[in-house]
Chain A
Amino acid sequence: MEGQGEAQALPPFARRRPALLSGGLAEVGSNLFPIVLIGALVLMVADVAVRSGVSVAGSQLVNGLTKGAIFALIAVGYTMVYGIIELINFAHGDVFTLSAIYAKQIGRGLGFLGLSLSSLATRNPLGLALALAIIFPLTMAATGITGVLIERVAYRRLRDAPRLAPLITAVGVSFILEGAMLVTQGSSNVRTGKDGWIHGVAFTRGTVEVHWADIFVVGTALLMMFALQAFIRSTRLGKAMRATAQDRDAALLSGVNINGTIAATFFIGSALAAAGGLIYSIFFDSVVWNLGFQFGIIAFTAAVLGGIGNIVGAGLGGFLIGLIYVFGGQLTAGQWSNSIVFAMLIIVLTFRPVGLLGIRVPDRA
């Protein structure tokens, strides 16, 4: 998914240049976009700093980055799947929610076996590390397997069907997952049993308090994404994934197991969403059946902003959208947070459909 870069094929939803803009203007808009985006963000931060003080701006920066970390982990799953089979996997946001519920149930199951993760995690740092070392792999594996099953059942047969078909199936899978969570968990917020796992203030800069939970969220997200990047760069399977993303037929001819590779992509994407679901659970200790709808669609925007198919882009996009969400919300008394994010989606698709870091999609698309 790297190196083939510049000869970018636009994704279908961005392939036609907007009629409103002549070639030259679009070019200028496209080149200016990153500058304008960063400039706007800096202005927003400055505005908050001037109006409410530097410490508020600093705290909001932390809020934006932690929110962005979760968006980033979900966005990576969107982008990986899009990169390899050009499917906007609308069920991905719900996979994120599902993982939080898996984690809750796994915790409960271990509780029945006499192992209370919560009391372990709140005992001392070593216990916490142990609890995390237990819950993360289990939840990520369970969610990853769910992702593979979804691909097997709902998408594989439609891989060569017109693009609309799997898209609709994806929406259908999303409804099925939401429905299942609604029935089993009820429709109100449920606690995830991870209250106070990570608490306390790590350090204070001026009056900006940075909590351990903030560091944990951002750190875990970055760690996961670096690990993924390394995996894709340097392992055989990673190479197969890159090859399949570039040209599925050619990869097949070179002996790549396409089905296995795509399944692995779904596994990894879902497992990362599970990491997002877990850090969300630890951070907020609350989950609700339709949480993934909003998170999914915002994370999708993040993936588009970074350049769909581009894993580094998705991470970057996630953090940027988190900041835009928080600072944009500040400017507008909260009312327009969502609108600003989706306005961003429209602006990206109009002026820079390739996103910030460029699209990576199959050539033969």
Chain B
Amino acid sequence: MERHHARVVPVLGVISLVALAACGTSTSSGGGGNTGSGPLDSCVGQVTVASELPTSGGDAAIGGGTEKGVKMAVDQANAAKLLGGCTINYIAKDDSSVAKGKHDPQQGAQNVTALVANQAVVGIIGPFNSSVAVAELPITNKAGVVQISPSNTDPGLTIPGSDPDIDTASLRPTGKTTYFRVISNDVVQAEVMSEVAAKELNLKKVYDIDDQETYGKDLSNYFDKDFAKLGGTVVKRVSLPGDTKDFRPQITEAQGLGADSVFFGGVASNGSGILKKQMADSGFNAQFLSGDGTVDPQFFVDAGAQGDGAQASSAPDTTKLSSAHQFVTQYKQRYGQEVVAYSTYGYDCMNILLQAIHDVLVANGGKIPADPTTFRTNVIAKVQGIDFKGTIGETKFDANGDTLNHDFSVYKGTGGKWVARETISPSAS
């Protein structure tokens, strides 16, 4: 399968609320540049880190591209001797199962159970999907192993009471924060997308389809609420199983209801591209809107040329940030492919983890802490306190584990690719 990725053509913002990303300005080389750390020269042994992402199946394009970013961070850190005399051992897990053909919460839970049982593992990058996070977080939290996600956007994962379907407290049985994410959440994303829909595109009536997953349902809920607040009408909200291949009944209904737009709350492996294609085939010209789950090359595999015109919010297109320039170039050199939307996020996640490990080792007198539990606990504390300037800008975490960086970009399907239009920093949320 060919993989294309957006070559960035920034279309200057029509939107008034755009406060163009300031996050590109604070540049610093990410991890890997931290060479010659004298205090760790005497370090002996191996530190084990892991990633837990969907790298086969329906999510292979986007999950695999994220994992490649993670792996590059490890290899660069090893090459640059970030941990001095100690080496970094990296375990990559895949949470796609054969049974589902895509990300599978059960598979994810099995993976992290195995990872935390391995005393050597001090931190895990992932998961990719919020539904998988729900299954994994209680396990890593109990074990006291830090998890940093490049892409989970469901607010319920960190903010109690923000998602009726998620009992946030149950994800943190110890009461401590062990889970962090470098991307903002769906509350902010839905705000961005509803502003675009109502104010910029002047849409009045949306037909909302979710994919019955944690992430999709939630994004749709927030979108509906925000869109209504801005004066729009949600003509109908439906919830379809992920294996839906025939959206014509919904398209017919949306046409009948006079919808001028269709919002899809869900991931591309659950059919957003198929939906877009069938809309075009039925001659239904409503605006297609979606969130970051759809900003995936698979969307255009399914939709083909008919994917053009779709608009979706996603993580800022960091590929155009000067801070990401070096990484993007190296990635292409190494893999012969363009980065995917989350490669930089994966790369930063791993660099944050490695930086935290580095800081723990330094604080411990240049040695790996003898007690694995202490090691893990100290890494969590260092991640919590991190102030990291990486490819995606500056990352700091609040007490819930959420990033303080709330930028999103709006992407538009153009010539069979997702192209970022502009980055939006919501005023306040």
Contact = CB atoms under 8 A, between A and B. Distances in A.
Interface in A37-72: 52-53, 55-56, 59-60, 63-64, 66-67
A288 interface: yes
A195 B60 contact: no
A286 interface: yes
Chain B CB within 10 Å, residue with most, of A56, A190, A291:
A56
B256 A56 contact: yes
Contacts of A326: 249
A334 interface: yes
A257 interface: no
A187 B249 contact: no
Given A291-B245, A335-B239, A187 B57 contact: yes
Contact of A335 (B238, B253, B281, B283): B238
Given A187-B102, A188-B298, A333 B239 contact: yes
Nearest to A326: B249
Given A286-B302, A333-B238, A186 B249 contact: no
A52 B256 contact: yes
Interface in A166-213: 179, 182, 186-191, 195, 199, 201, 209
A182 B98 contact: yes
B274 A189 contact: yes
Contact of A187 (B56, B240, B248, B281): B56
Contacts of B173: none
Given A60-B252, A195-B304, A284 B56 contact: no
Nearest to B306: A195
B48 to A, nearest CB: 29
B4 to A, nearest CB: 15
B241 A338 contact: yes
A56 B253 contact: yes
A71 to B, nearest CB: 11
Contact of A286 (B60, B238, B245, B283): B245
A201 B92 CA distance: 50
Chain A CB within 10 Å, residue with most, of B248, B269, B273, B283:
B248
A290 interface: yes
Contacts of B56: 187
B304 A55 contact: no
Given A52-B257, A290-B101, A335-B212, A63 B238 contact: no
A289 interface: yes
Contacts of A338: 241
B1 interface: yes
A334 B250 contact: yes
Contacts of A67: 246
B236 interface: yes
A330 interface: yes
A338 B244 CA distance: 10
Contact of B274 (A286, A289, A329): A286
A155 B27 CA distance: 66
Chain B CB within 10 Å, residue with most, of A63, A66, A191:
A63
A294 interface: yes
B240 A186 contact: no
Nearest to B1: A186
B351 interface: no
Contacts of A335: 212, 238-240
A199 B302 CA distance: 18
Interface residues of B, number: 41
B255 interface: yes
A179 B244 CA distance: 21
Contacts of A286: 245, 274, 277, 302
B58 interface: yes
B237 interface: yes
A201 B278 CA distance: 14
A277 to B, nearest CB: 13
Contacts of B250: 334
B290 to A, nearest CB: 17
Contacts of A329: 249
A63 B1 CA distance: 31
Interface in A300-358: 326, 329-330, 333-335, 337-338
Given A53-B256, A186-B1, A294-B243, A60 B238 contact: no
Nearest to A188: B58
B248 A334 contact: no
Contacts of A182: 98, 101
Contact of B252 (A59, A188, A289): A59
B211 to A, nearest CB: 11
Interface in B231-280: 236-241, 243-246, 248-250, 252-253, 255-257, 269, 273-274, 277-278
B256 A334 contact: no
A86 to B, nearest CB: 29
Nearest to A199: B281
Interface in A142-157: none
Contacts of B273: 189
Nearest to B305: A195
Contact of B304 (A53, A179, A191): A191
A188 B60 contact: yes
Contacts of A288: 101, 245
A201 B282 CA distance: 9
Contacts of B298: 188-189
A331 B136 CA distance: 35
Contacts of A285: 277
Nearest to B59: A188
Contacts of A188: 1, 57-58, 60-61, 101, 269, 298, 301
7 contacts: A53-B256, A59-B252, A63-B248, A286-B274, A294-B243, A333-B237, A334-B244
Given A67-B246, A187-B101, 4 more contacts: A55-B256, A60-B253, A334-B244, A337-B240
Interface of A: 52-53, 55-56, 59-60, 63-64, 66-67, 179, 182, 186-191, 195, 199, 201, 209, 284-286, 288-291, 294, 326, 329-330, 333-335, 337-338
Sort A-B residue pairs by CB-CB distance and give the 8 closest, nearest first. A56-B256, A187-B57, A334-B238, A187-B101, A59-B252, A333-B238, A52-B256, A334-B240
